[in-house]
Chains A and B, each alone.
Chain A
Amino acid sequence: MKAADESDYLDFATARTGALYRSAALLSSGDPHLAEDLVQETLGRMYVHWRRVSKADNPAAYAHTVLVRVFLSHRRRRSTTEQPTGRLPEGVVPEGDATLRLTLLDALARLGPRDRAVLVLRFWEDRSVEETARVLRSSSGAVRTQTSRALGRIRSILGDSLPDLARS
């Protein structure tokens, strides 16, 4: 990569890594190792195609698309060992809220990866149904169905703990 391109890339990566990590943390339901791996692989993939990607309309949004795809493929590769538990390392979350957040992470951990991905895209990244469908290489109809199923599942897992969480 040319020095100038690399400089642009590093600016971009430095600026976006925090946001990518936050999405990765939710996708991995709080597993910091997996979240780091996902971000690193995403950054690596962005690096490879940087010259093309940097000219795209919205490289940041594209990076999050790559992240979700990396997550879905990663999840398949690592399914032998990854047992999401929703555990949170010390010091990552302010203490008072830790229990409540663990509840959400635990609920996410108990969803399948695609359910988790669709919820993160729709409700954390605030993507439209159409955008979500593009990220997941799926149709709008399938995304609507998957969203309502995933919502039903997480609702049944969370029971009535979410109102408490939202008030925190």
Chain B
Amino acid sequence: MPFEDRLAQSMRDTGEDFAPRDLVGLVNGGVTDGRKRRRRRNVAVLGGSAALALVAVGGAMVPSLLNTTGAHHVAGPAAQPKMSLTASAKPVSDGELAKQMIDTLKGLLPSGGRITDATGRWVMPGGRMLAPLASLVYDDGHGASAIEVGLTHNRPGGQLPSCANPAYAPNDVCHTYRLPGGAWLYLDQGYEYPSHGYGTKDWHATLIKADGSQIDVDEWNAAAEKGAPVTRATPPLSADQLRALATSTAWRPLLAALPAPKPIPPRPSGLGPDGGAILRTLNGLLPHGVTGHNPDSQSGYAEEQLRDGKAGAGLIGVNVQLFNSSEDAGIVSQLFAGATTLPDGSRMVVRQQAAEKGGSGAVQWVVDLIRPDGERVVAQEFNSPRQGVAADRSQPVLSIDQLKALVTDPAWTKLV
């Protein structure tokens, strides 16, 4: 048998034996990931074509927040994680829970409105996938609006929703609140497409209780999320009404019927040096007269807007990563093909191009450096305050020579 056939056979033998440990959890995690992405995808993102790593702006991670409290509101079924796959042991039928979903939502809306297209769901058809949802179209006389409520139960220690930095989501009014009892409330009055600042509005509340159970409420100023005309200036429920709907005790029995997910063991992780340290290093290297504004960071990445007091603002983002010289040799040689080799053995690639996410007159300058020890520092600079918007000045704030000096500065070596 040729080697390729033997390899294919052994890959089949090996691959076929893998199975996810928690399929339902994985799918739910995907939905949660997707919802977050959808809300935030138009928020400024760095990275892209040239294999530049990272990524989303704004999300401060609070990894252990949800498991610091001993308070547990969920009783009964929560103690039986297996129930995520089966309805058999439930005292209340899935059909009844689905009805309670929609009845609860209806009961919490201001009276006098006209309700159509009301649907309640507890599990997906087939009965295996838990996906509680209530959705309807509500018209208080000023225009029809879609309203949806979903329930989920996160793993303790999950990521909390956080407001994007207003500099990058200028059209949103967003707040997070810590509530008595350890719950977090996230309220965002934004747009279906956040970067537009026009069209369908999507106002949203997320309540995450201390035990990880979560209520998501969305309301639109249209009868459907997308593809339906705007019917009114804003969605029908005010921020206070949204808050009241999400925090209502009426959801309690339904949340209590949600099985808690199985915890997964923590693992050592790290996406790179601490973002705060990257930001401090960046600020320490800015030339005299240049100031940073609206900083944002996450592991391995930091960004901020730069101003020099003369013209408008420009965006700068810096990734710091560590590559393994043997393990990552392939990708490194690909990333640094055609690089200039510096006296200390570092390799550097410089690109000056139109901004990859567009914006009238916007340019993107990149200095990508890898040191002999594998530390990679990539700085990207724009002459616009965010990605994807028009230029705010003729050139980025730092000249290309200043950007090179910043990236090659030995201060970065202290981070890894």
Contacts and interface: CB of A to CB of B under 8 A. Distances in A.
A35 interface: yes
Nearest to B300: A77
Contacts of A78: 271
A1 B13 contact: no
Given A39-B20, A48-B41, A124-B11, A14 B330 contact: no
Contacts of A131: none
> How large, as a class, is the contact surface on chain A?
35 or more
Which of B13, B30, B35, B148 is the most central at the interface, judged by chain A CB atoms within 10 Å of its CB? B30
A56 interface: no
Contacts of A79: 321-324, 327-328, 331
Nearest to B324: A79
Contact of A17 (B13, B20, B53): B20
A112 B327 contact: yes
A51 B226 contact: yes
Nearest to A123: B8
Contacts of B11: 26, 104, 119-120, 123-124
A165 B10 contact: yes
Interface in B316-341: 321-324, 327-331, 334
Interface string B17-53: 1111101001101111111111001000000000101
Which of B12, B15, B329 is the most central at the interface, judged by chain A CB atoms within 10 Å of its CB? B15
A94 B20 CA distance: 15
B124 A11 contact: yes
A77 B29 contact: no
A3 B148 contact: yes
Nearest to A101: B14
B116 to A, nearest CB: 14
A14 B23 contact: yes
B135 to A, nearest CB: 5
Interface residues of B, number: 69
Contacts of B1: 166
B37 to A, nearest CB: 5
B413 interface: no
A32 B21 contact: yes
A60 to B, nearest CB: 15
Contacts of A114: 330-331, 334
A58 to B, nearest CB: 19
Interface in A96-142: 97, 100-101, 104-105, 112-115, 119-120, 123-124, 126
Interface in B258-276: 264, 267-272
Contacts of B35: 47
B18 A43 contact: no
B288 interface: no
16 contacts: A7-B131, A9-B31, A11-B124, A13-B30, A14-B129, A25-B15, A44-B31, A47-B38, A76-B51, A76-B321, A78-B271, A81-B270, A81-B271, A84-B327, A124-B12, A166-B9
Per CB-CB distance, the 6 closest pairs between chain A and chain B, nearest first, are A47-B34, A43-B30, A44-B33, A112-B330, A25-B18, A123-B8
Interface of B: 1, 3-4, 6-21, 23, 26-27, 29-38, 41, 51, 53-55, 119, 121, 124-125, 128-129, 131, 133, 135, 148, 224-226, 264, 267-272, 300, 321-324, 327-331, 334, 416
